[in-house]
Amino acid sequence: MKLYIYEHCPFCIRVRMIFGIKNIPVDLIVLMNNDEYTPKYMIGKKIVPILMKQDGSYMSESLDIISYIDSLDNKSCIIGIPRLSVTTWFQNVNSYVYKLLMPYLSTPLFSEFSTLEARKYFINKKESTYGKFSDLKKNRLVFIQDINYDLYKLGSLIIYSNAINGELSFNDFQIFPLLHLLHLIPEIEYPLCVQRYYSYIVQQTKISSLFIGEDQSS
């Protein structure tokens, strides 16, 4: 199987999680961010992740791919029940956090932004939605203060380090990609229980940590 991704994409990170947890081999193929032809050829629109199954057919939508991979061995590992409190926390943070993250995501640390053209493509697209990155940066300290406070609240919601609700659930596929991307920002402060949770999921999913020692914003 082949999985077409962007390394910065939270939906792609979700899908990479299930492959790592289930120890299922897959060829990871990072598309350049300005490559519109390849995804449109496969599924008719520019969106990732895209899974090419063993029969050569394509599947998109992260949750569909996760469910498909989890069912391959008839031994589902996603057995936990999502909690409303965790989902509500995620929805609240998701409503503002990308105003903080956007200027950091177009870093050449991610393979899809290894060319200047790909970075410019991303920046032009996202600035039309979120506003100028230069303006977002002016408010970064406010956003950092907000996310640090919300991470403190997240700590009180984590039941076990191996799964936020004690057993692997959809909440883990919401929370981990967010924590993963926040490691691009050096000023973020993680309560010990949150960092333990992140580190455990990194180990289980085999997704390399993002520990950035300096400002990588564009």
Q: Which pLDDT does position 209 carry in this prediction?
A: 84
Q: Are residues 96 and 58 in the same domain?
A: no
pLDDT of 218: 45
For position 49, which CATH number holds? 3.40.30.10
Domain range for 176: 88-205
Q: Is residue 181 part of a domain?
A: yes
Residues 94 and 201 in one domain: yes
Number of independent structural domains in the chain = 2
Mean pLDDT for 80-107 is 96
For 121-172, the pLDDT digits (tens) are 999 999 999 999 999 999 999 999 999 999 999 999 999 989 999 999 999 9
Per-residue pLDDT tens digits for 9-24? 999 999 999 999 999 9
- Domain membership of residue 76 (yes or no) is no
Which ranges of the chain does DSSP label H, i.e. alpha helix? 10-22, 37-43, 62-71, 84-94, 97-105, 116-130, 133-138, 140-155, 170-182, 192-205
Backbone phi, psi, residue 49, to 5°: -80, 160
Residues 189 and 114 in one domain: yes
Assess whether 98 and 58 both reside in one domain.
no
Mean pLDDT of the chain: 94
